[in-house]
Structure 1
């Protein structure tokens, strides 16, 4: 009888919830440390844009897999009622007949359970629970054992943005070789304008309205990156011929506060983790396609740059997308002005090579824009303000030989 009572007491204690101290220590954002970070073998080195002019030795080896993992940090945020899987749950389906793939965003949040020394999270793509044994938990360090053999060491992140601006809009763009070129403009009220040119089955322009919850979540993700103290560019300490470029423009009071360019997921973790919900925001709501026919001919263009003789004010992808939007609301005018720049551009839609381009020349002083069409018709537009003075913080630079 004595042993039966002891066994019953043991069972009762085994079924209890984890101690509050364990719960409290787990709450917060965690990032996995790589083997190199644990042994201090590597330090992250940022390269400037001019570094790409350094000749690449033909024997340059590809970056080690461990360094590649530095560029795609693994982490999660644990909250009282949910877990934020920072990489997001994305289901990839190849479409070999069309030589592309489709990516379905299943969200970032999932359920988890905590029972003493065991953490279980539900993986939405695999439709299974993943089990981790908690081997160590102190205020800033967490060590999990996966599959009873693989130790994963995490460090707690403490994000305290420095006097955070109240952003009105966030514009996100991404591009790489053989992947979608995409731009998304999201207002703080949830209005979304989305463009994609290939690969993910949504070619063209779309508009819609995001939920208040998702909009707040997305802006919160970007705010954790501490935009005020972000550099304007992040590049890895290796060189690749086809980098993935992610660009974010933060807007306040209808002007660009800062534009940040990331190559190969080299930016600080909280910024990299904001890319996933920004990239897939259009999948979280109903969006309506904007037909090509409904756009004026001067909005059949993209990738604008301002050129003056042998100098250029090059536009980042998000900045060019903002100019595209502003041209759509510009007013026709007959004002005479002295052009300061010639604007280079690409055609937005596929065109018949046997026909002339719709637009042949664009000239501007930053505020007024004149478009010469293929039938020699001249159209002038007034933005109402100087786009360059308001939004571009960089200085004009000399054209490189390959740009001339």
Structure 2
């Protein structure tokens, strides 16, 4: 009888300990996590350290059992990447982290190796993934009037597109290659949606952001993002290979795939405007100096051209715009920054955009000698 009582007490102790551990896990997992290189050797047979990744995954676990996966959930349909959002559900059962697959509606199980207030480790496909807690800094970046995100494509099936969102909720989408929609479209979002998409970027300290980020390999995609405040470019970030700070890159997916979740109406491109399909941006040059506009800056300029008016004005050309990487290379565009002269169907056209785009944004650009 005493032996049975002892077994019963031991069982109760084990159950209580397991319950305490599970409750501690549920508490410790709450908050923001970002993946880091593991400094702790993995334990268990056939478990190896996860190699470094180009992307840096992150999670936010909430008390209501919802989870945000910063890189987003996706599926492929007819070769096109479909964005399913960043939000899902999670639960912790014993030593397993369960995350709901929002495509299949099935729970994926990840074995927890370590979970404390500052370290999270779990097994994914037999590899050890390590995360650390991070805090979101107080946001001092101003709110923007427009955000333009452009993707250049890669040696593969990376989508090539341009997306512009405005503070009033209007959206312009231009799909070129490997996108579910191709062409120029208009749509709208709520002001709350705009604020969320904007704040995804504003979580990064803009004062520390560089204009260009690059990795040391080839055939990757470039994502360029331009932020407009009071009619001027506040900042443009050209990111080749996802080398920018992780909180900034996390903002890409919800914006670049926004077009998949909103109603879009096809837009007619005015005949008296040059092509907007410049996946590599345009090149601005004088007689001996040159400067490349990013793809997002180029899309912004050509958006202004589409809104501009045909003019008979005369002007002195200061620059030429060209697209040296475009297979269907157009004639160079002559401009002084406000007026743009080009040919459409062998007819000379001048467009007045109403202000000098180049002069007001001069501080954002770095000129080089053509020989460089």
The counterpart of 1:83, out of the listed 62, 67, 89, is: 67
Task: Give the superposed CA RMSD.
Answer: 3.2
Q: Measure how far apart 1:263 and its partner are.
A: 1.0
Q: Measure how far apart 1:115 and its partner are.
A: 4.5
Which aligned pairs between 1:33-44 and structure 2 lie closer than 5 A?
33-35=36-38
Structure 1 unaligned regions, length at least 5: 40-64, 96-100, 352-356
Structure 2 unaligned regions, length at least 5: 42-49
| TM-score w.r.t. length of structure 2 | 0.83
CA contact (8 A) 1:17 1:115 kept: no
Q: What residue is the counterpart of 2:344 in the other structure?
A: 373
Describe the SS at the equivalent of 2:282. Answer: strand
The counterpart of 1:194, out of the listed 173, 194, 198, is: 173
Deviation string for 1:142-170 (max 9, x for gaps)?
222457x6432111122315621112221
Q: What residue is the counterpart of 1:386 in the other structure?
A: 356
Q: What residue is the counterpart of 2:35 in the other structure?
A: 32
CA contact (8 A) 2:170 2:188 kept: yes
Deviation string for 1:15-49 (max 9, x for gaps)?
79954x654532222122235x779xxxxxxxxxx
Describe the SS at the equivalent of 1:205. Answer: strand
Q: Measure how far apart 1:173 and its partner are.
A: 0.7
Q: What residue is the counterpart of 1:288 in the other structure?
A: 265
Q: Measure how far apart 1:400 and its partner are.
A: 4.5
Which aligned pairs between 1:41-120 and structure 2 lie closer than 5 A?
66-67=51-52, 69=53, 71-81=54-64, 82-93=66-77, 95=78, 101-115=79-93, 117-120=95-98
Q: What residue is the counterpart of 1:167 in the other structure?
A: 144
| TM-score w.r.t. length of structure 1 | 0.77
- The reply on whether 1:270 has 2:241 as its aligned counterpart is no
Q: What residue is the counterpart of 1:183 in the other structure?
A: 162
Describe the SS at the equivalent of 1:111. Answer: strand
In 2, distance between residues paired with 1:327 and 1:34?
47
Q: Measure how far apart 1:384 and its partner are.
A: 2.0
What is the number of equivalent residue pairs in this alignment? Answer: 353
In 2, distance between residues paired with 1:257 and 1:151?
41
In 2, distance between residues paired with 1:11 and 1:323?
65
In 2, distance between residues paired with 1:253 and 1:114?
48
Describe the SS at the equivalent of 1:324. Answer: helix
Which aligned pairs between 1:287-366 and structure 2 lie closer than 5 A?
287-291=264-268, 294-301=269-276, 302=278, 303-345=281-323, 360-366=331-337
Q: Are the structure 2 counterparts of residues 17 and 209 from structure 1 closer, same or farther at C-alpha, using a change threshold of 3 Å?
A: farther
In 2, distance between residues paired with 1:133 and 1:239?
34
Deviation string for 1:306-343 (max 9, x for gaps)?
22113212110000000011011113333322110112
Q: What residue is the counterpart of 1:254 in the other structure?
A: 231
CA contact (8 A) 1:72 1:265 kept: yes
The counterpart of 2:366, out of the listed 392, 395, 398, is: 395
CA contact (8 A) 1:162 1:228 kept: no
